[in-house]
Amino acid sequence: MTAEAFEVSNKVFQRSNKSFEGAEMSCTVPEEIQQIVRQAAEPSQAGESVKAAIGRAARSLGLSYSRARAHWYGLARMVPAEEADALRRARIQLIRERAARLRAELLALEIKERAHELGLAEGIGCSRLDGNAPDQLGRVVSGEGCRAA
């Protein structure tokens, strides 16, 4: 290779390297599916076995236990496009469901906080607020109490 050709190829290499600087490396499809399966097992229970977590993920994603296990451990030899697309859609649904649970939990905590601020919690049975948060808040604020009428 001549010095001129080497210099040209070196410039091309340097330019192509710069295009990767600062770019995040995306994961492969099997790694993405592994993350989805593990996410489907959340939240994990204290003392729970991995087998139970894989089973829960399999049920929530509509996979067989053995297929979920293969994805969990990154052993799946191939992931058909249809399966990957279905699991991606399932991940979106799992995220929506988790967000809804977190919003409900946050609302319940805000109600409990408000009840304690108003000094209503102890005498009216608010030590354990149930899942009907908006209705309870109305009763707490009006002074009726936390229990259903």
| Token pair listed for 97 | 């469901």
Residue 43: per-residue pLDDT: 86
| Residue 31 clears pLDDT 70, i.e. is over it | yes
Which of 63-67, 77-81, 86-90, 119-123 has the lowest average pLDDT? 119-123
| Residue 22 clears pLDDT 70, i.e. is over it | no
pLDDT tens sequence across 39-64: 999 988 889 999 999 999 999 999 99
Question: What is the C-alpha to C-alpha distance for residues 61 and 42, in angstroms, rounded to an integer?
Answer: 12
Residue 61: per-residue pLDDT: 95
| Dihedral sign for Cα atoms in the order 16, 19, 22, 25 | negative
pTM summary value: 0.59
Confidence class for position 12, pLDDT limits 50, 70, 90: very low
Which of 67, 102, 104 lies closest to 87 in space, CA to CA? 67
Cα torsion at 98, 104, 106, 108 (round to 10°)? -150
Residue 46, φ and ψ in degrees, nearest 5? -60, 130
Q: What residue type is assigned to position 53 of the chain?
A: A
Burial category of 38 from C-beta neighbours within 10 Å (exposed 0-12, middle 13-18, buried 19 and up): middle
- Helices (H) and strands (E) counted in the chain, each on its own, are 6, 0
pLDDT tens sequence across 95-132: 999 999 999 999 999 999 988 888 865 555 555 555 55
**Which residues, at least 6 apart from 147, have a Cβ–Cβ distance to it below 8 Å?**
124, 125, 139
Confidence class for position 149, pLDDT limits 50, 70, 90: very low
Q: Mean pLDDT, the chain, as a whole number? A: 78
Which of 123, 116, 122, 109 lies closest to 141 in space, CA to CA? 116
